[in-house]
């Protein structure tokens, strides 16, 4: 804990004690009923703090997530709240989340994801162009050493790095054509090899 955190903790404890002392002084005549109400509010506060602290665990338990068959030949991607399908992969050993985009030709990495997988955009040759919803953008052709989803590893894949303002990387048809079957059923995109 840093000095700043310690000072904030001490401040909050002193402030909480001052509020409690004021509460007891102001309500000394009907203390039993007020203590009961204070206990209820205290439990509500603790419950809210616990829910906030556990939200990631709760969300991961309740919300459906990507599933891959044991042999890696079947991938199921649930539709996200924004109505897109996302695939999580390990690219060159680094985790990357892709938007499945049948309108994209290639595997397209954002600048941030390119850096994460060990490709430095400043050293790439942006010789290509792509027509996107945001207009024309420059692209740089690259090779991905490994692309791992579940137990299946694809190696030496062609991809491009987008020089524009791309927030999330795209998984286009160049990768999706590796699957023999693609279907959407009950809000789940199923990819089968």
Sheet holding 67-68, edge to edge: 67-68, 74-78, 188-192, 181-185
Q: Which residue has the higher pLDDT, 91 or 26?
A: 91
**What are the pLDDT digits (tens) for 127-149?**
999 888 778 999 999 999 999 99
Tell me what pLDDT residue 106 has: 93
Fold for the domain defined by 66-192: Cathepsin D, subunit A; domain 1 (2.40.70)
Q: Is the pLDDT of residue 109 over 80?
A: yes
Sign of CA dihedral 100, 106, 110, 116: positive
Which of 138, 139, 181, 178 shows the shortest CA–CA distance to 157? 178
Q: Give the dihedral sign, CA 37/39/45/50.
A: negative
- More reliable by pLDDT, 18 or 101: 101
pLDDT above 70 covers a percentage of the chain that reads 93
Task: Please check whether residue 142 is in contact with residue 159, taking contact to mean a CB–CB distance below 8 angstroms.
Answer: yes
**Whether the predicted pLDDT of 152 surpasses 80:** yes
Q: Does pTM top 0.95 for this prediction?
A: no
Task: Find the angle CA(23)-CA(28)-CA(29) to the nearest 5 degrees.
Answer: 135
**For the segment 166-190, what is each residue's pLDDT rounded down to a tens digit?**
899 999 999 999 999 999 998 899 9
In this prediction, residues 51-71 reach a mean pLDDT of 70
The rounded radius of gyration (Å) of the Cα atoms in the chain is: 26
Can you tell me the distance from the alpha carbon of 81 to that of 181, in angstroms, rounded to the nearest whole number?
Answer: 24
Query: What pLDDT is recorded for position 64?
Result: 64
Specify the pLDDT at position 61: 60
The span from the CA of 171 to the CA of 9, in Å, is: 46
The pLDDT value recorded for residue 34 is: 72
Q: 3-state class of 54 per DSSP?
A: coil
């Amino acid at each position: 804990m840093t000095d700043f955190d310690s000072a904030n903790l001490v401040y909050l404890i002193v402030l909480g004690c001052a509020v409690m002392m004021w509460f007891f002084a102001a309500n000394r005549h009907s203390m039993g009923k007020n203590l009961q109400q204070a206990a209820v509010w205290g439990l509500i506060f603790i419950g809210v703090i616990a829910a906030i602290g556990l939200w990631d665990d709760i969300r991961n338990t309740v919300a459906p997530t990507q599933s891959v068959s044991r042999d890696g030949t079947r991938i199921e991607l649930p539709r996200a709240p924004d109505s897109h399908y996302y695939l999580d992969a390990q690219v060159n050993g680094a985790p990357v989340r892709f938007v499945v985009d049948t309108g994209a030709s290639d595997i397209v990495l954002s600048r941030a994801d390119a850096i994460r997988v060990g490709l430095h955009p400043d050293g790439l040759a942006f010789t290509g162009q792509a027509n996107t919803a945001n207009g024309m953008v420059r692209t740089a052709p690259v090779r991905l050493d490994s692309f791992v989803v579940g137990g299946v590893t694809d190696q030496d894949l062609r991809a491009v790095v987008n020089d524009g303002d791309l927030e999330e990387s795209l998984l286009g048809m160049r990768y999706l054509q590796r699957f023999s079957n693609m279907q959407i059923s009950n809000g789940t995109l199923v990819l089968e090899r």
